[in-house]
Amino acid sequence: MRSISAIGLALVKNSEGLVLTAYKDSVGTPTIGYGSTRGVHMGDVIDQPEAERRLKDDLRVAEACVNLNCPQLTQPQFDALTDLVFNIGCNAFANSTLCRLLHKGDFAGAADQFERWDHAGGRVLPGLLQRRLAEKELFLSASHDANSERDGMNTQ
Protein backbone atom coordinates (compact mmCIF):
# COMPACT_ATOMS: atom_id res chain seq x y z
CA MET A 1 0.00 0.00 0.00
CA ARG A 2 1.44 3.31 -1.09
CA SER A 3 1.84 6.22 1.32
CA ILE A 4 2.44 9.92 0.95
CA SER A 5 6.04 11.06 0.40
CA ALA A 6 7.87 13.82 2.26
CA ILE A 7 7.01 16.18 -0.60
CA GLY A 8 3.31 15.36 -0.30
CA LEU A 9 3.42 15.69 3.48
CA ALA A 10 5.00 19.13 3.14
CA LEU A 11 2.18 20.14 0.78
CA VAL A 12 -0.47 19.03 3.29
CA LYS A 13 1.24 20.79 6.19
CA ASN A 14 1.81 23.97 4.21
CA SER A 15 -1.77 24.01 2.90
CA GLU A 16 -3.37 23.34 6.27
CA GLY A 17 -1.09 25.23 8.61
CA LEU A 18 -0.86 24.31 12.26
CA VAL A 19 -3.36 25.65 14.79
CA LEU A 20 -3.29 24.14 18.28
CA THR A 21 -6.60 25.63 19.46
CA ALA A 22 -9.90 24.58 17.87
CA TYR A 23 -11.31 27.01 15.34
CA LYS A 24 -14.11 26.97 12.78
CA ASP A 25 -12.97 26.43 9.21
CA SER A 26 -14.41 28.29 6.22
CA VAL A 27 -17.64 26.28 6.37
CA GLY A 28 -17.97 26.37 10.16
CA THR A 29 -16.56 22.93 11.04
CA PRO A 30 -14.54 22.76 14.27
CA THR A 31 -10.94 22.07 13.23
CA ILE A 32 -7.61 21.69 15.02
CA GLY A 33 -3.97 20.81 14.31
CA TYR A 34 -3.25 20.31 10.63
CA GLY A 35 -6.88 20.47 9.50
CA SER A 36 -8.23 17.64 11.65
CA THR A 37 -11.98 17.68 12.16
CA ARG A 38 -12.67 14.26 13.69
CA GLY A 39 -14.06 14.65 17.22
CA VAL A 40 -13.06 18.30 17.51
CA HIS A 41 -15.03 20.64 19.78
CA MET A 42 -14.65 24.36 20.16
CA GLY A 43 -12.42 25.05 23.15
CA ASP A 44 -10.18 22.02 22.48
CA VAL A 45 -6.43 22.62 22.77
CA ILE A 46 -3.72 20.17 21.68
CA ASP A 47 0.07 20.14 21.55
CA GLN A 48 2.40 19.56 18.59
CA PRO A 49 2.78 15.78 19.15
CA GLU A 50 -1.02 15.38 19.21
CA ALA A 51 -1.31 17.45 16.02
CA GLU A 52 1.23 15.13 14.35
CA ARG A 53 -0.63 12.02 15.57
CA ARG A 54 -3.93 13.34 14.28
CA LEU A 55 -2.34 14.21 10.94
CA LYS A 56 -0.87 10.73 10.61
CA ASP A 57 -4.27 9.14 11.36
CA ASP A 58 -6.12 11.47 8.97
CA LEU A 59 -3.56 10.85 6.22
CA ARG A 60 -3.98 7.07 6.56
CA VAL A 61 -7.66 7.52 5.68
CA ALA A 62 -6.83 9.71 2.67
CA GLU A 63 -4.08 7.34 1.50
CA ALA A 64 -6.42 4.34 1.75
CA CYS A 65 -9.00 6.18 -0.35
CA VAL A 66 -6.50 7.02 -3.09
CA ASN A 67 -5.04 3.50 -3.03
CA LEU A 68 -8.52 2.00 -3.35
CA ASN A 69 -9.76 4.31 -6.09
CA CYS A 70 -6.57 4.86 -8.12
CA PRO A 71 -4.00 2.10 -7.70
CA GLN A 72 -1.85 2.93 -10.76
CA LEU A 73 -0.28 6.31 -10.02
CA THR A 74 3.15 7.86 -9.96
CA GLN A 75 4.29 9.15 -6.56
CA PRO A 76 3.61 12.81 -7.47
CA GLN A 77 0.11 11.90 -8.64
CA PHE A 78 -0.50 9.93 -5.46
CA ASP A 79 0.77 12.80 -3.30
CA ALA A 80 -1.39 15.38 -5.06
CA LEU A 81 -4.50 13.22 -4.84
CA THR A 82 -3.86 12.39 -1.18
CA ASP A 83 -3.72 16.11 -0.39
CA LEU A 84 -6.96 16.63 -2.32
CA VAL A 85 -8.72 13.75 -0.54
CA PHE A 86 -7.40 14.93 2.82
CA ASN A 87 -9.15 18.23 2.13
CA ILE A 88 -12.40 17.22 0.35
CA GLY A 89 -13.00 13.71 1.74
CA CYS A 90 -13.07 10.27 0.18
CA ASN A 91 -16.71 10.23 -0.84
CA ALA A 92 -16.46 13.51 -2.75
CA PHE A 93 -13.31 12.30 -4.49
CA ALA A 94 -14.62 8.82 -5.33
CA ASN A 95 -17.71 10.32 -6.96
CA SER A 96 -15.88 13.12 -8.77
CA THR A 97 -15.29 13.70 -12.47
CA LEU A 98 -11.58 13.81 -11.63
CA CYS A 99 -11.72 10.21 -10.36
CA ARG A 100 -13.80 9.06 -13.35
CA LEU A 101 -11.27 10.59 -15.74
CA LEU A 102 -8.43 8.81 -13.95
CA HIS A 103 -10.27 5.51 -14.40
CA LYS A 104 -10.44 6.23 -18.13
CA GLY A 105 -6.70 6.97 -18.21
CA ASP A 106 -7.28 10.65 -19.03
CA PHE A 107 -4.60 12.11 -16.75
CA ALA A 108 -4.52 15.50 -18.49
CA GLY A 109 -8.29 15.82 -18.15
CA ALA A 110 -8.08 14.74 -14.52
CA ALA A 111 -5.40 17.35 -13.84
CA ASP A 112 -7.70 20.03 -15.23
CA GLN A 113 -10.33 19.08 -12.64
CA PHE A 114 -8.28 20.17 -9.60
CA GLU A 115 -9.26 23.81 -10.02
CA ARG A 116 -12.95 22.93 -9.86
CA TRP A 117 -12.47 22.21 -6.14
CA ASP A 118 -11.76 25.83 -5.14
CA HIS A 119 -15.12 26.49 -3.45
CA ALA A 120 -16.19 26.21 0.18
CA GLY A 121 -19.49 27.37 1.54
CA GLY A 122 -20.60 28.25 -1.99
CA ARG A 123 -17.81 30.72 -2.70
CA VAL A 124 -14.36 30.65 -4.26
CA LEU A 125 -11.60 30.81 -1.67
CA PRO A 126 -8.24 32.12 -2.89
CA GLY A 127 -6.41 29.79 -0.48
CA LEU A 128 -8.20 26.78 -1.90
CA LEU A 129 -7.42 27.86 -5.45
CA GLN A 130 -3.72 28.17 -4.53
CA ARG A 131 -3.84 24.71 -2.96
CA ARG A 132 -5.52 23.20 -6.03
CA LEU A 133 -2.95 24.80 -8.34
CA ALA A 134 -0.13 23.37 -6.19
CA GLU A 135 -1.77 19.93 -6.28
CA LYS A 136 -2.18 20.14 -10.05
CA GLU A 137 1.45 21.16 -10.50
CA LEU A 138 2.58 18.26 -8.34
CA PHE A 139 0.23 15.84 -10.14
CA LEU A 140 1.74 16.84 -13.49
CA SER A 141 5.36 16.97 -12.29
CA ALA A 142 8.05 14.53 -13.17
CA SER A 143 10.61 16.10 -10.87
CA HIS A 144 10.28 13.60 -8.04
CA ASP A 145 8.95 10.71 -10.12
CA ALA A 146 12.19 8.75 -10.17
CA ASN A 147 11.86 5.09 -11.11
CA SER A 148 13.35 4.15 -7.76
CA GLU A 149 10.49 5.93 -6.00
CA ARG A 150 7.87 4.30 -8.21
CA ASP A 151 9.45 0.84 -8.01
CA GLY A 152 10.18 1.13 -4.29
CA MET A 153 6.73 2.27 -3.27
CA ASN A 154 6.43 3.48 0.28
CA THR A 155 4.72 0.74 2.25
CA GLN A 156 3.53 0.40 5.78
Domain CATH code at residue 59: 1.10.530.40
Residue 39 lies in a domain: yes
The neighbour count for residue 78, using CB atoms within 10 Å, is 26
In a domain, 70, yes or no: yes
Rg (CA), the chain: 15
Span 75-113, pLDDT tens digits: 999 999 999 999 999 999 999 999 999 999 999 999 999
Neighbouring CB atoms inside 10 A of 75's CB total 23
Q: Among 147, 84, 141, 94, which residue's Cα sits nearest to residue 116?
A: 84
Please state the rounded mean pLDDT for residues 144-153. Answer: 40
Could you report the per-residue pLDDT of 35-83, keeping only the tens digit for each? Answer: 999 999 999 999 999 999 999 999 999 999 999 999 889 999 999 999 9
Asked, for residue 149, whether it belongs to a domain, the answer is no
Total domains, the chain: 1
Q: Pick left, alpha or beta for residue 106 (phi over 0 → left; psi -120 to 50 → alpha; otherwise beta).
A: beta
Q: Which residues are catalytic?
A: 16, 25
Residue 29 within a domain:
yes
Amino acid sitting at position 3: S
pTM of the model: 0.88
